Amino acid sequence: MSGLSAPKGTFDVLPPESARFLAVRDTLTAPLRRAGYGYVETPVFEETAVFSRGVGESTDVVTKEMYTFADRGGRSLTLRPELTAGLMRAFIEHRLHTGPLPVKLWTVGSAFRYERPQAGRYRHFTQVDMEALGVDDPALDAEVVALGVQGFRDLGLTDFELLLTSLGDATCRPQYRELLVAYLEKLDLDEETRRRAEINPLRVLDDKRPEVQAQLGDAPLMVDHLSDSTRAHYDAVRQHLTDLGVAWTEAPRLVRGLDYYTKTTFEFVHNGLGAQSAIGGGGRYDGLSAALGGPDVSGIGYAVGVDRTLLAVAAEGLDVAASPGVQAFVVPLGTEAKRLAVRLVGQLREAGVAADTVYGDRGLKGAMKAADRSGATHAVVVGDRDLADGVGQLKDLRTGDQRAVPVGDLFEALRTAVGN
Ligand code: AMP
């Protein structure tokens, strides 16, 4: 034994749980594919500046949680802590803004954050990420939010909530920020929180500590200080969401962990998850492209955590796994039968039937056990004596019923039996 194990805060996804992982991942992305979003892959590492500039210098993600390293060529690289900044980098690099707008993209993959691990919080996790870029239209905000909701609904989840607010934009956030800073200055806050208030005062509103929350009762809220244009935008988003049958909870203190959000901002929370209740979140980020040195284009998108959504699915006791295992199984007993089994399984798979057989010398008992464990509903059991008679036994593994079928008909008989 080498004693090696997965690094702290990471985990392996193994069968049969992995079937649920795939089902959740694919169900969350299906609504995006149906809505015309195109699949993108970007590297799991980027130049560090993509994240320090993109996610925001003052955020916990950038200051405390990034896996940053120098490669052998002396470049500073960072394992992506989220997927939006990399997608935006690719959008700018390939000048996608010069084509038809909006540009609708999605991706799914690993993200890495050096966080304190706990249930639902890992150092390596998987996000589904989508972005709609280049058009500032409240109807697009509503589409994005509704697609997130659709993914959760398609999984059968019901115990989740959409938290919604507007964070304003350059036309009103600076004035609001001054109001908030003046308010926070009068409070009894520790040194670190004061420093945080100087860099990003909105963050303090999101401070979970009771002694801080107790002082924030009548803090000014962004939604009460929106400019006419951002208020009109927010009203239109809510109107479209109502038309789409999407319910939400107003969350005027919602501040997200990343700095680039403007206007529409939202989070999906699940009530069965304890402290790490956020299963996804996102918003509009009209300044992100410019922050990365790109053209001044707007964007909106979200990221959903696949691992946490999987926990939500378990918390609601839902069975989401697309039937794992195989439909048909072939049990050969003897050398000649082995050749037939290998050929039959090959034919079945080619015809789209999930099929398997036994390998190694398992004996009848072991082989039948493997057939039962495989999840198959039907098996062909064939011994060399059957072969001499020109038949194999077609067996219904659920009822135990069995009948002899001519060797030449076994493929069709098995395929028909499993309903393919
Ligand atoms: P964020 O990029 O921080 O907005 O996170 C988006 C979603 O990713 C969250 O709602 C979570 O579902 C998931 N997520 C973020 N951080 C972690 C983590 N450390 N472990 C597992 N899931 C995470």
* Chain segment 379-420, per-residue pLDDT in tens: 999 998 999 999 999 999 999 999 999 999 999 999 999 987
Choose one of 253, 282, 316: the last residue of a domain. Answer: 316
pLDDT of residue 270: 98
**83 assigned binding-site residue:** yes
Domain assignment of residue 125, yes or no: yes
User: Does one domain contain both 233 and 380?
Assistant: no
pLDDT of residue 324: 63
**260 assigned binding-site residue:** yes
User: Does one domain contain both 150 and 278?
Assistant: yes
pLDDT tier, 291 (very low <50, low <70, confident <90, very high otherwise): confident
Domain assignment of residue 123, yes or no: yes
Mean pLDDT, rounded, for 166-188: 92
Residue 115 beta carbon below 6 angstroms from any ligand 1 atom: yes
**256 assigned binding-site residue:** yes
| pLDDT tens column, 63-111 | 899 999 999 999 999 999 999 999 999 999 999 999 999 999 999 999 9
% of the chain beyond a pLDDT of 90: 82
Domain assignment of residue 380, yes or no: yes
pLDDT of residue 202: 87
User: Does one domain contain both 66 and 126?
Assistant: yes
CATH, residue 52: 3.30.930.10
The total domain count for the chain is 2
**198 assigned binding-site residue:** no
Q: Whose CA is nearest to atom 17 of ligand 1?
A: 121
CA gap 234, 50 in Å, rounded: 29
pLDDT of residue 361: 83
pLDDT of residue 1: 56
Residue 201 beta carbon below 6 angstroms from any ligand 1 atom: no
pLDDT of residue 379: 97
The pairing of strands 45-47 and 124-133 is: unpaired
Structure-token match 């799991």, residue found: 44
**25 assigned binding-site residue:** no
pLDDT of residue 2: 72
Q: Whose CA is nearest to atom 10 of ligand 1?
A: 280
Q: Whose CA is nearest to atom 14 of ligand 1?
A: 305
| pLDDT tens column, 264-280 | 999 999 999 988 899 99
The pLDDT of residue 127 is above 90: yes
| Domain span including residue 407 | 328-419
User: Does one domain contain both 21 and 126?
Assistant: yes
User: Does one domain contain both 143 and 50?
Assistant: yes
Residue 24 beta carbon below 6 angstroms from any ligand 1 atom: no
Choose one of 316, 349, 376: the last residue of a domain. Answer: 316
pLDDT of residue 258: 65
* Most trustworthy range by pLDDT among 143-147, 175-179, 372-376: 143-147
Instruction: Decide: helix, strand or coil at residue 23.
Output: helix
The pLDDT of residue 257 is above 70: no
Residue 278 beta carbon below 6 angstroms from any ligand 1 atom: yes
**414 assigned binding-site residue:** no
For residue 282, report the distance from its CA to the centre of ligand 1, in Å: 11
Domain assignment of residue 194, yes or no: no
How does the average pLDDT of the chain come out, rounded? 94
pLDDT of residue 259: 65
CA gap 242, 138 in Å, rounded: 13
Q: How many residues does the chain have?
A: 420
User: Does one domain contain both 306 and 339?
Assistant: no
pLDDT of residue 261: 84
Domain assignment of residue 180, yes or no: no
Domain assignment of residue 197, yes or no: no
User: Does one domain contain both 90 and 236?
Assistant: yes
For residue 52, report the distance from its CA to the centre of ligand 1, in Å: 18
For residue 280, report the distance from its CA to the centre of ligand 1, in Å: 7
Residue 113 beta carbon below 6 angstroms from any ligand 1 atom: yes
CATH, residue 385: 3.40.50.800
User: Does one domain contain both 312 and 332?
Assistant: no
User: Does one domain contain both 295 and 366?
Assistant: no
Mean pLDDT, rounded, for 313-330: 88
Strand order, beta sheet including 76-79? 45-47, 76-79, 67-70
The pLDDT of residue 256 is above 80: no
Residue 301 beta carbon below 6 angstroms from any ligand 1 atom: no
Residue 163 beta carbon below 6 angstroms from any ligand 1 atom: no
Give residues with Cβ within 8 angstroms of 36, minimum separation 6: 104
User: Does one domain contain both 305 and 374?
Assistant: no
Choose one of 281, 316, 351: the last residue of a domain. Answer: 316
pLDDT tier, 196 (very low <50, low <70, confident <90, very high otherwise): confident
User: Does one domain contain both 305 and 412?
Assistant: no
Sign of CA pseudo-dihedral 100, 101, 102, 103? positive
Domain assignment of residue 7, yes or no: no
pLDDT tier, 185 (very low <50, low <70, confident <90, very high otherwise): very high
User: Does one domain contain both 148 and 288?
Assistant: yes
% of the chain beyond a pLDDT of 70: 98
Mean pLDDT, rounded, for 364-373: 94
Amino acid at 256: R
Domain assignment of residue 267, yes or no: yes
Residue 310 beta carbon below 6 angstroms from any ligand 1 atom: no
